[in-house]
Amino acid sequence: MEWFFYVTAALAGLLAGSFLNVVIYRGPSMWGLIEESDGADRGTLLAPRSYCPQCRTRLSPLHLIPLASYLALRGRCAACGAAIPPRYPLVELAGALAALGALALFGASPEALLAAIFLWSLIALAAIDFETGFLPDALTLPLLLFGLLANVGDRFVPLEAAAVGAAAGYAAFGLIALAYAALRGREGLGAGDAKLLAAIGAWGGWPALAPAVFVGALATLAVVGVRAVMGKRVDAAAPIAFGPGLCLGGAAAFLGSAAG
Ligand SMILES: [Zn+2]
């Protein structure tokens, strides 16, 4: 019977990833963080049905199938041939991996579903920060609250550790951002990073904070190193978002502390 749960988790994860792609594409415009160059509206999370951003052709149900449609179409819009960003299949794949990881760690349980929701939220936040440079309050703040609620009854970590984690995460990042701005003479870390770390603390408790920041910094430095090797600019004028790294660190720290 165990294979049945894993197949179900993988399919649910692909579908969740498909929905995350809608959030990643439409959220920033819906929340007023970015504006289309042509002033067009990207719609809400529920309407209209998914379309090609290039030619605006509505996708057929067959082309909404996660991952498989990308492979069948060889990464191009069926109507106009425009390249589909690799972010779509990557997010769908990440959604499936998150569901499988949650199931492997927590078994078929409410904990697995909650953990998957946390990981899916981090995927959306990482992709949005990568594409727009924003970590929307519309995602970080509900994630923080939901983390505290999830830990009522000491589900993943003791509720006190979660509350301290949320407060300390926000305060610590605020201090780091202030120190960074004082040292560099410019802002490098946004308020969104502080709210994200607060949410990570709410889910994984205060012991998850240091590992999350550490892994996040390592991942971000690795990206900076790769960019330097590839000959891209890495100076202060071309800032690299810390959010994606912090999401990765938060996922690792949460899974480490909650499953420990
Ligand atoms: Zn098209």
Q: What is the 3-state secondary structure (H, E, C) of 232-251?
A: CCCCCCCCCCCHHHHHHHHH
Work out the mean pLDDT of the chain and round it to a whole number: 91
Q: Give the orientation angle of helix 191-204 with respect to helix 209-229, to 10 degrees.
A: 130
pLDDT in tens, 236-259: 556 678 899 999 999 999 998 877
What is the spatial distance between Cα 34 and Cα 185, in angstroms, rounded to a whole number?
Answer: 26
Distance 135 CA to ligand 1 centre (A): 28
CA neighbor of 59 nearest in space, from 27, 98, 88? 88
**Residue 121: what pLDDT?**
98
CA distances from 146 to 108, 122, 141, 162, 211 (A): 20, 13, 9, 11, 21
Distance 218 CA to ligand 1 centre (A): 38
**Residue 38: what pLDDT?**
66
Distance 89 CA to ligand 1 centre (A): 17
**Residue 80: what pLDDT?**
94
Distance 151 CA to ligand 1 centre (A): 44
Yes or no: say if 151 and 159 are a contact pair by the CB < 8 Å rule.
Answer: yes
Which amino acid would we find at residue 40? A
Q: Token pair of 186, please?
A: 């410019």
Distance 84 CA to ligand 1 centre (A): 9
Distance 205 CA to ligand 1 centre (A): 45
**Residue 45: what pLDDT?**
85
Measured on CA atoms in the order 110, 114, 117, 122, is the torsion positive or negative?
negative
Distance 240 CA to ligand 1 centre (A): 30
Give every residue of the chain whose pLDDT is below 50, as ranges. none
**Residue 125: what pLDDT?**
98
Q: What share of the chain is helix, strand, coil (3-state, %, to 5)?
A: 70, 0, 30
**Residue 224: what pLDDT?**
86
Distance 174 CA to ligand 1 centre (A): 43
